[in-house]
Amino acid sequence: MRLLFVTLVCLAAAAEGRRASISNSELRRISSEMFEADNNNVYSHLDVNTGGRVPFGKSNTDYASAPLMEPFNATRYLSGPTYTALVNFYDNFERSTNRREVHTQEEHNEQVHFINMITSTAPIRKVKEFLSSKGYLPRSMNSFKRTMKALWFDFYGRSRGVLSSSGFEHVLMGEVKNGQVSGFHNWVYFYFLERKNEVNYLGYKKYLQLGRGDAMVIKFSFKWHNHLKPVTSMMIGTSPELEIALYTLCFYARPDQNCRVSLGGKDVVVKTHTYRSSGKSMIGSAYVDL
C-alpha cells in the first residue's frame, strides 16, 4: 500500500510539472539498475596498468612505466554505434577555454546522431523513465532528446564570456585553462589519445574495482602534451551512454552535492557542478570521485 501511495505521488507531481524528491535509496537502486543494464561495457577487453602510486604533492612526476590501457583486443569492441558516435567528436572542439567554438552544420548533425544513438540504449531509457516520473525531464521522447542535447552540448563561456565550452566537451573530452588540463573524465578519449602518444599517464592515487571485474574507478595524474592534470577521476570500461545517464541523474538529483550511487555493488560518489548561463543551469562538470 505504501509503495502504491509513493508511486501515485510521484506520478501526480510529474503530471503537474512539480519535482518529487529523490531519496538516497532510490539513487542507489536506479544507478545499480543502469550499471547492470550497460550492455556496451568493454572492461573485460581492456588490459589496465595502474602503475605506481603517486605520492601527495608529486603529481608532476611519472610513476608509471606503461600506458594506463594497453591496446589488447579492445579497439575492435569500440566500433559499436555509441562509441563510434563519440569518436566523431574528437576533432570538433578547441582545447583552450579562451577560443570561441565554431559550430558547423556537420557538428550539429553529429550531436543529433549521438543523442539518437544513446537514447536507444537501456541506461538512458532507465534514467529517462526515472527522472520523468519525478518531474525532472519531459516524457515525450522528442522533448527529452532536445533537453539532453541542450544540457550537454549548448555552449557557454568559462573565460571572459567567450562561448568556448560545454558540458560534453569539459566532461568527456577535457579542456586547457590557465595552462592546466580542466575536466577530462572519459576513458575512451584517454584510450584514443594514448594510442596517439598525446597523453602520458603518470600513476594512480586511488582506484576501486566495481563488481567482479566489471569496471574500475580510478583517480590519477597525467599530462596532455605539456599540460598537467594533477588529479582526475574516471570510470574505465563503461559505455558513453552509462556515463551520460549517470551524470544526468546526479545533475538533477543532487546538483553541486555528493551524489551517492551504487555501481556493481560498490558505493561510489558522483559530483556535479552547475554552470549558470543566460538564466539556464548547465553541466559545468561531472565525475566520479574516490
- The cell for 106 is 556537420
- From the DSSP assignment, how many helices (H) and strands (E) are in the chain? 9, 12
Nearest alpha-carbon partner for 172 in 102, 107, 88: 88
C-alpha dihedral (67, 69, 71, 76), degrees to nearest 10: -150
What's the 3-state SS for 119-150? CCCHHHHHHHHHHHHCCCCCCCHHHHHHHHHH
Q: Compute how many other C-beta atoms are within 10 angstroms of the C-beta atom of residue 241.
A: 29
Instruction: Give the C-alpha separation, 71 to 52, whole Å.
Output: 20
**How far apart are the two ends of the chain, measured CA to CA in Å?**
38
Catalytic residues: 170, 185, 229
